[in-house]
Structure 1
Amino acid sequence: MKPKSLLALTTALFLGLTVPAKALDTAATSAMVVDFETGAVLLEKDAHRPIPPASMSKLMTLNMLFEALQDGRFALDDTFTVSEKAWQKGGSKMFLEPRHRPTIEDLIRGIIIHSGNDACIVVAENLAGSEDAFAALMTQRALELGMEDAHFANSTGWPHPDHRMSAFDLVQLGKRMIRDFPEYYPYFAESEFTWDGITQSNRNPLLYTSTVGDGLKTGHTEEAGYGLVGSAAQGDRRVVMMVTGLESSRARAIESERLTAWAFREFENITVMEAGTIAAEAPVWIGTADTVPLMVMEDIRATIPRGAEDSVTAMAVFDGPLPAPIAEGQIVGELIISIPDMADISRPLYAANAVAEGGFMTRVSAAAGLLARDAMTTVFGSE
């Protein structure tokens, strides 16, 4: 087996003082903060523990509705019927009645802004026939989307021992709302909605702070405490976060603003390497060229602690020498980006040009080189 080659590209990609981001704790029982562009995890606390998500799980109900809109099964101005079950449901309400015929757009606002349990049940029954059937579809779809800790017993987040999600699940779902449903995401930033003469305000505290919040969903039950899946944008950066288990709505507001402000203040996004950059030269075995340049095919962006540019390192990793023939654009290794106090980033390395297999004389030369190496090993007793 050929040895794995490690080529250190640089020990200082940028100049500057190293000032690591200050470690941060949170009063939340579960929490996660990520950079939306790079996916870098800035903070996590029990992020994979299944917890009662309360009304934050309404994001999954919205996901199912948004998918139905995107694939053309429904349109925003289509109307749904309201059942007795939906009308009689307690907790947060849109105040729907069986006589109403709300449009899907009304229901989206009723779920996001009013956190309407009745609106969720209307969506569930009209999409799947019953809330139980809808909850089963939610669970199946969540698993398909990589939310391994998610299991749904209802469409509302109403307390149930089998209704669970993790902070990781909720952050991934929040990112999906932003990334995959840009046409519907602006609803999350609306501060109030009036239905049947009743005006209610959005409870998301990030909409009313200096952190430029524009989504997503609060949650609260006695078992879960106060929680939020939130997102805020500042300049060219966006942060998605989740907290839960807080003791009051005020504590939720303070903690969510504190964490998002910290994420913007202590971290920045940089381009580590631009698309087309030659990252390394790899030796070639029995080829028409002795080496092949290795390149990155797309910009590599990373989230780093502010001031830590000079501590970012990159290393090319490949099994070398690379055997010819090598096709242009063939993946032949990976680039490992190491950042202080952050998880490593891995990106594929591609052959920048083709290298054909060498002819007879190339093989003779390679064989002679092996014989010479073996002779040196015998004389000096080294490996």
Structure 2
Amino acid sequence: MFHRLRLALPILMLFAAALPARAFETAATAAWVYDMTTKTVLMDKNADQSVPPASMSKLMTINMLFEALRDGRVTMDTPFAVSDRAVEMTRAGGSTMMLQHDDRPTVQDLIHGMIVNSGNDACVVVAEGLGGPRGNTEEAFAEAMTERGRAIGLTASTFKNASGWPAEGHRMSMRDLGILGKRLIEEFPEYYQIFGETEYSYKGRSPDNRFNRNPLLKLGIGADGLKTGHTAEAGYGLVGSAKQGNRRIIFAITGLPSDTARAEEAERIVSWAFRQFAEKTVAKTGVRVAEAEVFMGTTDSVGLVPAADVSLLVPALVQESMTAEVVYKGPLIAPVTAGTPVAELIIHVPDLPDHKIPLVAEADVPEAGFMRRVTTAASALYTRYMGEAPAS
């Protein structure tokens, strides 16, 4: 059977003056905020709803190109051809790096064009250059994007093109965008710094489109990526990341009514995520949290300890106390080996997901000798049927 031990132990004393933050109300229609350092979801508002991602979906095209670099299929100096379709995107009225037919932009040029200029033409060039299972077309590349997205955990994403240009069925969720941004940070640190560049111009072109649209990059708040997006249907959105001290957050928002509203909301989210939470060590390696019953062992109980230090984000505003409990299936049956996971510490934080921390046996508990096993078994049977063990 499962045992639940409510805790009022020293580990919770850390929370005495650090209780839950009031929920943050965002103006975004959908949002996902994640603390990468402690792996904590700080906000989830319609985060799994599939919506038009606009240019934020360029992050998947960028991911596909980064993977091609990592696999050795291209290098930073590999040139790509510019098709009629790519040139048409230059003239269509959206973001562009102003490519022309006779240009042969390199991978390095195209990465900057997609990230800094948000070039739709650059995305088409990459799509046709890398292609997909059905040939070197943007449609084939979009199919490959969708397939690869599923493989890396983007469960609510379907791609119809490489740029985020409005198209029926082109959808992503804010959680997927956040997961994708997290992947770009963790998997491709050698390229990630490009997201923080504020200006780029291919061959001196695009004087009005050379500036990075990310409104957070120049605010001195640790922001260093990732991608804005806007269409009439989607509204204004942003996948952003910022690092302050040892903590890094990533967030995805959409549905804001203007670029000004997007900038203000993004800054509010960054401020809230860093100022309303503090990272605390709540349990130490090897320090006993609770005890579990042991059946047929040389002792009747064993200490439960975390196998590693446990750090959590602790909300800073006082509202209501946190609680914790230890859950295990028991009693444990001897022999019990030290270091074996046998229980779980669950810390309940209002307005945040529960934190579940594995606990291991503190020490070995050998199986008892024959006579002790007989006595223990008899006592257990007596208790089961008579309600109380006989006096020993």
TM-score (norm 1): 0.92
Q: Which amino acid aligns with 2:345?
A: L
Q: Secondary structure at the match of 2:189?
A: coil
Residues 6 and 22 (structure 1), Cα distance of their counterparts in 2 relative to 1, 3 Å cut: closer
What is the CA distance between 1:52 and its match in structure 2? 0.2
1:60-118: CA deviation from partner (whole Å, max 9, x where unpaired): 11111112222333222222222222222132111122322222121111110000111
- Partner residue of 1:255? 265
* Unpaired stretches in structure 1, ≥5 consecutive residues: none
What is the CA distance between 1:227 and its match in structure 2? 0.8
Measured in 2, the distance between the counterparts of 1:263 and 1:214 equals 16
Task: Write the mapping of 1:115-130 to structure 2, written as runs, cut at 5 A.
Answer: 115-128=118-131, 129-130=136-137
CA contact (8 A) 1:5 1:320 kept: no
CA contact (8 A) 1:13 1:309 kept: no
- Partner residue of 2:203? 196
- Partner residue of 1:135? 142
Q: Secondary structure at the match of 2:67?
A: helix
Q: Secondary structure at the match of 2:193?
A: helix
Q: Which amino acid aligns with 2:59?
A: L
CA contact (8 A) 2:20 2:318 kept: yes
Q: Which amino acid aligns with 2:278?
A: E
Q: Secondary structure at the match of 1:206?
A: coil
What is the CA distance between 1:171 and its match in structure 2? 1.2
Residues 172 and 15 (structure 1), Cα distance of their counterparts in 2 relative to 1, 3 Å cut: closer
Residues 295 and 18 (structure 1), Cα distance of their counterparts in 2 relative to 1, 3 Å cut: closer
- Partner residue of 1:354? 364
- Partner residue of 1:187? 194
Task: Write the mapping of 1:226-305 to structure 2, written as runs, cut at 5 A.
Answer: 226-305=236-315
Residues 378 and 277 (structure 1), Cα distance of their counterparts in 2 relative to 1, 3 Å cut: closer
Measured in 2, the distance between the counterparts of 1:117 and 1:346 equals 43
- Partner residue of 1:164? 171
Could you list the structure 1 runs, at least 4 aligned residues long, displaced by more than 4 angstroms after superposition. 307-310
CA contact (8 A) 1:64 1:138 kept: yes
Measured in 2, the distance between the counterparts of 1:19 and 1:362 equals 47
- The root-mean-square deviation of aligned C-alpha atoms, in Å, is 2.3
CA contact (8 A) 2:9 2:289 kept: no
Q: Equivalent pairs: percent with the same residue?
A: 49
* Unpaired stretches in structure 2, ≥5 consecutive residues: none
Q: Secondary structure at the match of 1:316?
A: strand
Q: Which amino acid aligns with 1:298?
A: A
- Partner residue of 2:13? 13
CA contact (8 A) 1:330 1:350 kept: yes
Q: Secondary structure at the match of 1:173?
A: helix
Q: Which amino acid aligns with 1:106?
A: D
* Equivalent residues, number: 379
Q: Which amino acid aligns with 2:340?
A: Q
Alignment of 1:98 with 2:97, yes or no, is no
Measured in 1, the distance between the counterparts of 2:225 and 2:24 equals 23
Measured in 2, the distance between the counterparts of 1:97 and 1:359 equals 85
CA contact (8 A) 2:3 2:328 kept: yes
Deviates further, 8-17 or 32-41? 8-17
What is the CA distance between 1:273 and its match in structure 2? 1.5
Q: Secondary structure at the match of 1:295?
A: strand
What is the CA distance between 1:267 and its match in structure 2? 1.4
Q: Secondary structure at the match of 2:233?
A: coil
1:152-203: CA deviation from partner (whole Å, max 9, x where unpaired): 1111101112100111111111111212221111010000112111250100
Residues 65 and 335 (structure 1), Cα distance of their counterparts in 2 relative to 1, 3 Å cut: same
1:7-39: CA deviation from partner (whole Å, max 9, x where unpaired): 525273316435542333222211222212123
Q: Secondary structure at the match of 2:224?
A: strand
CA contact (8 A) 1:77 1:103 kept: yes
